[in-house]
Amino acid sequence: MIYIANWKMYGNPRDIERLKPVIKLSAHKKFKKIKLIYCPPFTLLDQLNQKLKKTRILIGAQNCHANSDYGPFTGSVNSKMIKSVGAKYVIIGHSENRSIDNNIDINKKIKSAIKEKLNIVFCVGETMKEKKKNLTYRVLKKQIFQGLKNIKNNTNILIAYEPRWSIGTGKVPKNDDLLKTINIIKKLLILKNQSFKKSKILYGGSVNPQNVEEIVKIKDIKGLLVGGASLNPKKFIDIIKKSIN
Ligand code: PGA
The whole-angstrom separation of Cα 172 and Cα 150 is 32
Q: What is the pLDDT at residue 172?
A: 97
Q: Which residue has the CA at smallest separation from atom 6 of ligand 1?
A: 227
Which residues touch 187 (CB under 8 Å, ≥6 apart)? Answer: none
The whole-angstrom separation of Cα 240 and Cα 224 is 9
Q: What's the mean pLDDT when you consider all of the chain?
A: 96
Which of 3, 4, 8 to probe ligand 1 with, by most ligand atoms within 8 A of CB? Answer: 8
Radius of gyration of the chain (CA): 17
Q: Is 162 a catalytic residue?
A: yes
Question: 214 vs 153, which has greater pLDDT?
Answer: 214
Sign of the C-alpha dihedral computed for residues 223, 229, 232 and 235 taken in this order: negative
Q: Is 94 a catalytic residue?
A: yes
Please identify, by atom number, the ligand 1 atom nearest to the C-alpha of residue 123: 9
The whole-angstrom separation of Cα 81 and Cα 116 is 10
Please identify, by atom number, the ligand 1 atom nearest to the C-alpha of residue 229: 3
Q: What is the pLDDT at residue 152?
A: 85
Mean pLDDT of 156-176: 96
- Ligand 1 centroid to 72 CA: how many Å? 31
Query: From residue 93, how far is each of 26, 33, 177, 188 by CA, in Å?
Result: 28, 27, 22, 17
Residue 203 gets which letter from DSSP? E
Ligand 1 pocket, CB under 6 A: 6, 162, 167-168, 204-207, 225-229
Q: What is the pLDDT at residue 154?
A: 63
**For 116-151, what is each residue's pLDDT tens digit?**
999 999 999 999 999 999 999 999 999 999 999 999
Determine which of 74-78, 123-127, 151-155 has the lowest per-residue pLDDT on average. Answer: 151-155
**For 5-56, what is each residue's pLDDT tens digit?**
999 999 999 999 999 999 999 999 999 999 999 999 999 999 999 999 999 9
From 65, 94, 96, 130, active-site residue: 94
Q: What is the pLDDT at residue 155?
A: 66
pLDDT-based confidence at residue 245 (cuts at 50, 70, 90): low
The whole-angstrom separation of Cα 146 and Cα 124 is 11
Q: What is the pLDDT at residue 216?
A: 97
Q: What pTM does this model have?
A: 0.97
